[in-house]
Chains A and B, each alone.
Chain A
Amino acid sequence: MAQKINIVCVTGTREKLQMAAMFASVAAATGDEVTVFLSMNALTYFVKGRSAAAPAEGELGELLISEKGVPPFKTLFQQAVELGDAKLLPCSMALDLMKITKEDLDSELGPPTGLTRFLSDAEGGQLLTF
């Protein structure tokens, strides 16, 4: 049975972004209703023209970077959207802080979202935080 899965990404390290993207893509492709809320240092990788090379926290992150054949986290997030209708929502506060708008973000991102809206949409679902 389809579940509602909410994923909150706030940390900008390779391990956390990779794990969040893996959960998002697999859950969305399995028919779960997936919403990814992107804020703090996790959001910067979705700003147009910025590098997607998130730094490693430790040994596993180094392996994610050095091993060929690891799907990039942005590709997995895109697949979550394309194959499973996942929503990728940028935090409106983070956009304000960075003095940018939705137009400055990758096209697969949805509307800027505040916490009240996110919390009411997330009600009753699972919440995973990275």
Chain B
Amino acid sequence: MSEIKLVDARDTFCPGPLMELITHMKQASVGDTLELLSTDEGSGADVPEWVNKVGHEILSNEKIEGVWHIKVRKAK
């Protein structure tokens, strides 16, 4: 079981958090889990949209005290 890699993109505006996640996804290995932190309100809907479109897996998506925590597994 690999540890979760944290991608802290708080306080950046769209598409900053998504581009941060994509940059880290490119560097990750298949099976790795990344957790994106974002304060951009659109991230909660738009990041899962990208993840599903590209074919990775959303493990969880929740807003805790104003911060989106989106866990994604690299599937390919």
Judged by a CB distance under 8 angstroms, whether A67 is at the interface is yes
**Other-chain contact of A70, B13, B18, B26, B50 (Cβ < 8 Å):** B13
**Other-chain contact of B15, A26, A31, A68 (Cβ < 8 Å):** A26
Number of residues of chain B lying within 8 A (CB) of chain A: 14
**Other-chain contact of B18, A26, A31, A67, A68 (Cβ < 8 Å):** A26
User: Which B residues are closer than 8 A to A by beta carbons?
Assistant: 11-16, 18-19, 22-23, 26, 50, 53-54
Shortest C-beta distance, B58 to chain A (Å), equals 15
Contact indicator per residue, chain A 58-89, by CB within 8 Å of chain B (1) or not (0): 00000000011111000010010001000000
- 8 other A-B residue contacts (CB within 8 Å) besides A22-B15, A31-B54: A22-B14, A25-B15, A26-B18, A29-B22, A71-B12, A71-B15, A76-B19, A79-B23
User: Which A residues are closer than 8 A to B by beta carbons?
Assistant: 22, 25-26, 29-31, 67-71, 76, 79, 83
User: What are 21 inter-chain pairs, A to B, with CB distance below 8 A?
Assistant: A22-B14, A22-B15, A25-B19, A26-B15, A26-B19, A26-B50, A29-B18, A29-B19, A29-B22, A30-B53, A30-B54, A31-B54, A69-B12, A70-B16, A71-B12, A71-B13, A71-B16, A76-B15, A79-B23, A83-B19, A83-B23
- What's the count of A-B pairs with C-beta under 8 Å? 39
Cα(A68)–Cα(B16), bound, Å: 12
Shortest C-beta distance, A127 to chain B (Å), equals 21
Cα(A79)–Cα(B15), bound, Å: 11
Shortest C-beta distance, A86 to chain B (Å), equals 13
**Other-chain contact of B13, A25, A26, A31, A69 (Cβ < 8 Å):** A69
Contacts of B22 in A (CB 8 A): 29, 79, 83
Cα(A15)–Cα(B23), bound, Å: 24
Cα(A62)–Cα(B23), bound, Å: 28
